[in-house]
Amino acid sequence: MRSPIPDYLDEILDKHRQDRSGAPADYIPALAAADPEKLAICISTLDGIEYASGDSDYAFTIQSMSKPFVYGMALERLGMSAVLDRVGVEPTGEAFNELSLDETSGKPLNPMINAGAITVHSLLGPSGSSAAERAEIVRAGLSEFAGRELTIDGSVAESERAGAYRNIAIANMLRSYDVITDDPDEAVNGYIDQCSVLVTVADLALMAATLAGGGINPKTGRQVLSPRVNRQVLGVMMTCGMYDVAGDWMTEVGVPAKSGVSGGVFGVLPGQLGISVYSPRLDSHGSSVRGTNIFHTLSDDMGLHIMEAPEPARSIIRRDRRFVGANGEMVRICSLQGLIQWSGAENVLRTMDEPDSTTTVFVLDLRRVYSINDVARRLFTEALARMKNAGVRVVLMDPENLLECAGPGSPLPDVKLIDSLKPLKGLKRLRNARLLR
């Protein structure tokens, strides 16, 4: 069977292809010369599958879409506090190239505007690093997100340098307030190289999927960002990624996203997928007209809004059975399934909590569970420990070691682990036993 997803993406592009409003960025000659009819989309899953349509092999410069990734690189290299001391995380409500700093702290308000991005770029590498050295750090780092070696488009970089008066003014402002210590021209040169890295929509979708997967690249399996840094990047993207329309974007589209003046837009749906779109005609905010409209359509059609909560985890408990053993033991077998997070774990714990229970052996069957997050794992571990302390014999069917109870240093070192119900011989179902699920 041919998947309907590529056909759907074709339909989405056809729907928006006739929109020719806006224009390529005219203040950068190399971008002004881009073919305005180019249009592409790619969706990348967390297991590395890509669905693409349109001009998906066409390469364009990453521009401001580099900012979230480089911000993550700086956080990993320097630590959270060191970066937050230099760049804030508050939305500005201003254009991306505004000459402004926080009135109280004197630092850029966030890393998604140019003042913050230039500052973040200047933090990479040892003190006194050249623009070329920092640009190489960025190129190599972005390549890890993309899962392949990326290159810098020198012609676009030179085109940007020829008219970089605004960014030079921003860098001089930063230097005058001691936000950066580099020569302003050198800082801008490195930042322009950062923006001139070439990508395709497939690259961007995979980079977005890396953020969606907690910092793990779906194709290479490399942990590019730690979970805590990854969360920080997504949080700033959600509130600041779309500049002065970030509020409208999050209420209407509901996908943490970042745009670039080359015409790209990428979005991240945590735990699910990464999406990227390319079309070079821009709106008054510097974002792709077709790209932002396509995201609106995708959000409505596919239910991507991050505030659309999933169905409550009613089916976590697959079966809850009670038996009497050959020696008279009261055995309870609770079989779970699916992905278990806080709400699902709470539901299970509520079921397990029976003050007047006569259970002497409790079997937790996780054979059909494929994921347990950290919160649910801690809840289950504590609940099972309390059962043991109450004199109940706890048995786990956990072949994938999801509760991490196998091996030295485990939270429940003396819990019995079994692969099947065969060790529990002589079980007879209790007459009139209650079947909860």
CB-based contacts of 185-191 (< 8 A; 24+ apart in sequence): 186/130, 186/131, 187/118, 187/121, 187/122, 187/131, 188/118, 188/161, 188/164, 189/131, 189/161, 190/121, 190/122, 190/130, 190/131, 190/132, 190/134, 190/135, 190/138, 191/114, 191/117, 191/118, 191/121, 191/167
- Pick the catalytic residue from 51, 71, 243, 278: 243
Sequence-separated (6 or more) residues with CB below 8 Å from residue 195: 61, 62, 63, 64, 66, 157, 160, 260
- Pick the catalytic residue from 261, 277, 395, 415: 261
Pair of tokens at residue 71: 């911000």
Q: Contact at 8 Å (CB) between 168 and 188?
A: yes
Going by C-alpha positions, the residue among 357, 120, 332, 326 that lies closest to residue 229 is 120
- Let me know if 64 is a catalytic residue: yes
Residue with tokens 């259970």: 359
- Let me know if 100 is a catalytic residue: no
* Beta-bridge partner residues of 264: 278
- Residues 349, 351, 352: CA angle, nearest 5 degrees: 60
- Pick the catalytic residue from 51, 56, 67, 259: 67
- Let me know if 67 is a catalytic residue: yes
3-state SS, residue 117 = helix
- Pick the catalytic residue from 87, 120, 156, 191: 191
Sequence-separated (6 or more) residues with CB below 8 Å from residue 311: none
Residues in the chain: 437
- Residues 198, 200, 206: CA angle, nearest 5 degrees: 110
Residue with tokens 């490195």: 190
* Beta-bridge partner residues of 258: 266
- Let me know if 324 is a catalytic residue: no
Query: How far apart (Å, rounded) are the C-alpha atoms in residues 409 and 413?
Result: 7
Residue type at position 245: V
- Residues 256, 258, 262: CA angle, nearest 5 degrees: 155
Work out the end-to-end distance of the chain between its first and last CA atoms, rounded to an integer number of angstroms: 35
- H or E segment to which residue 372 belongs: strand 361-372
- Let me know if 420 is a catalytic residue: no
Q: Contact at 8 Å (CB) between 138 and 194?
A: yes
Q: Contact at 8 Å (CB) between 117 and 107?
A: no
Active site members: 64, 67, 191, 243, 261
